[in-house]
Structure 1
Amino acid sequence: MTTHHRTYLKPPSLTAMGLGALWPSAGWQSKLGFPTFSFIWRGYRVGTDLLCELQRLAGSDDASTTDRLLLLAPHVTGFRLTLAMLMHPDWPLPIWQALQLRNRLIRSGDLKVAVPSDLIAQATAWRVHDKGIELDVHVQLLQGDDCPWESVTTFYYRGRFAPPLTHGPLEGAALTSPTIDPALAPIAHWNVDGDRRLRFARLTGDGNPLHLFDAYARRTGFAAASAHPQRIAAQCLGHLAPSPPPRQLDLWLKGPVYYGRAVTLRETRSDHGDDFALWVDGDERAAMVGRIS
């Protein structure tokens, strides 16, 4: 198993990440699994400009919405560190095979805005299924001696990888999402605007052209370019009913949310928290499901 440690003193370069992704991948070897990587971004900050951008997308800057957005914020700009790891030349599978599947975002303390912090990303667990591999990437935000925020992002690589193998515990969002009744009355309805999509790509480090160019997306079989999941999550969080500051947000990403399409949001409460789901109008299946607890 390859071990690689890397420290960044500034945001990982998009150019270097792109060149790394072009390097031929070694391919999956079951005896090796995924590499033991530890990528650290020193001086990372949850910026006030980021929070303002998320409030703009959410359409609200009230206290309840801002508390939710603080839970989401490190997953936006910190996502670049995860991508730098998955696009490294020594990573065994190419980034274009990776599909973001689930997120678990946890806030366990006072997350300070605009304070220099350390962000650490590591691949911690994976599960080989009949038709693909699930990979969990654990990210921690350290502010001094405290770790007020962490996340587990689950990616899925399609394909057949033998033999069956499980490594590490399942610590991310549950395999099965909550069920939201599509007959519930909507709490919000809006059109997904495609403005500033390049700005959001720069924030996340995710320059996948499927998020940027309608013509490219159509050539690859999609109806149009689709919004980054973090962007759609911010919009959903701005429409939910007021609630106490959340400690955990789970997201299940089930399909693309295209720019220019109308979407409908529904919310319900369960014993586990506030559940919500977003439908692209005309689709029977929800494109995003979430739970705040």
Structure 2
Amino acid sequence: MVTVLDAAPSMAPLFVRAALTPRGRGGDLPGTRLARRGVTVDAAEVAGYARVCRFPLADALPVTFPHVLTFPLQVALMSDRAFPLALPGLVHVRNRVDVLRPVGLGEALDLEVWAERFAVHPRGATVDLCASVSAGGAEVWRGRSTYLARGARAPEGAPASVLDVTAGDLPPGTIRWRVPGDAGRRYARVSGDVNPIHLSGSTARAFGFPRAIAHGMWVKARALAALSGRLPDALIVDVGFRRPLLLPSTVRLATAGVDGGWDLAVRSATSGADHLVGTVRPL
């Protein structure tokens, strides 16, 4: 069943509702799909997103920007009582986007999201939140975000999670970023993702983190922005989020050209531990 919404849901009330209704969930994933039709993006909003993520301004959307359009629909799906996992505490562990072609700034877009692949993980259960973006009746972008619910149980007979994203041998990385303490709030303003674990130390500590952590999708976007001008027009970007990036921090970006694309990692500048590991390949 597809439910078409007239406007993007406001995410702050959805996060509040999810925080108030974590108990009593269970069962299988709902078959509901949420959609919006004929969505056009505001050029100023895209410019703000590009500025925070360091993408250059262009006639095409940044490759990760459609996630910003579809994410409110995914949050609406996850915050509904029919969704079997509690949204507070879900950890984004993997994200893949397929860009079938560059998406023009002025195109009217149709968005659709759904949940699938309820799977068993050694630390709980995972679920994939999927998104499809179409223009003129043809799909132009798709995304898949995998979330881990620690301590949760998948239904009987569920498959095992597939989370590993590996890159080849990478150099230590010479590009250094100083990620400021307000990076989560800055990204929240341009993405609408107001998950409290990203906004302040006090709200992050309520969910078990010692400090606020950077949005995984900001880390991914920032890494791709560093490769602007060297990415294929049609591509697959698949990343695993290995460790939370506590704010503030200093990180290094390591890259290597592979098969017309890239292997990459975002690493702690002090310990060398990987926060993100991923691959970029032509589609």
Do they superpose with TM above 0.5? yes
TM range (shorter): 0.7 to 0.9
Specify which of 69, 73, 87 is matched with residue 81 of structure 1.
Answer: 73
Once the two structures are overlaid, the 10-residue window that deviates more, 128-137 or 92-101, is 128-137
Aligned match of 1:115 = 107
2:47–2:57: 8 Å Cα contact kept in structure 1? no
2:50–2:62: 8 Å Cα contact kept in structure 1? no
> Size of the alignment, in residue pairs?
279
1:128-157, Cα deviation, whole Å (9 max, x unpaired): 234311211221112221111111111111
Q: Which runs of 4+ in 1 moved over 6 A?
A: none
Q: Give how far 1:28 is off.
A: 2.4
Aligned match of 1:42 = 37
The whole-number CA distance in structure 2 between the counterparts of 1:259 and 1:153 is: 23
Show structure 1 runs of 5+ residues with no match.
none
Aligned match of 1:269 = 257
Specify which of 129, 132, 138 is matched with residue 130 of structure 2.
Answer: 138
2:212–2:246: 8 Å Cα contact kept in structure 1? yes
Equivalent position amino acid for 1:44 in 2: V
**Identity value in percent:** 26
1:91-127, Cα deviation, whole Å (9 max, x unpaired): 1221013211111101113412233322100112221
Q: Give how far 1:191 is off.
A: 0.2
Q: Give how far 1:290 is off.
A: 1.8
Q: List aligned pairs for 1:212-231, cutoff 5 A.
A: 212-218=199-205, 220-231=207-218
Once the two structures are overlaid, the 10-residue window that deviates more, 191-200 or 255-264, is 191-200
Shift in alpha-carbon separation, 1:7–1:130, aligned structure 2, 3 A = same
Q: Give how far 1:245 is off.
A: 2.4
Aligned match of 1:8 = 5
1:240–1:267: 8 Å Cα contact kept in structure 2? no
Q: List aligned pairs for 1:41-190, cutoff 5 A.
A: 41-61=36-56, 70-161=62-153, 164-166=156-158, 175-179=163-167, 181=169, 184-190=171-177
Shift in alpha-carbon separation, 1:25–1:114, aligned structure 2, 3 A = farther
Shift in alpha-carbon separation, 1:220–1:125, aligned structure 2, 3 A = closer
The whole-number CA distance in structure 2 between the counterparts of 1:122 and 1:275 is: 29
Shift in alpha-carbon separation, 1:15–1:288, aligned structure 2, 3 A = closer
Shift in alpha-carbon separation, 1:163–1:227, aligned structure 2, 3 A = closer
1:54-83, Cα deviation, whole Å (9 max, x unpaired): 4323435277xx87x622111123211111
* TM-score normalised to structure 2 length: 0.85
The whole-number CA distance in structure 2 between the counterparts of 1:185 and 1:160 is: 36
1:226-266, Cα deviation, whole Å (9 max, x unpaired): 12122222221222372432411111111111222111110
1:25–1:92: 8 Å Cα contact kept in structure 2? no
Q: Give how far 1:196 is off.
A: 6.3
Aligned match of 1:192 = 179
Aligned match of 2:191 = 204
Shift in alpha-carbon separation, 1:114–1:198, aligned structure 2, 3 A = farther
Shift in alpha-carbon separation, 1:201–1:115, aligned structure 2, 3 A = same
Equivalent position amino acid for 1:234 in 2: A
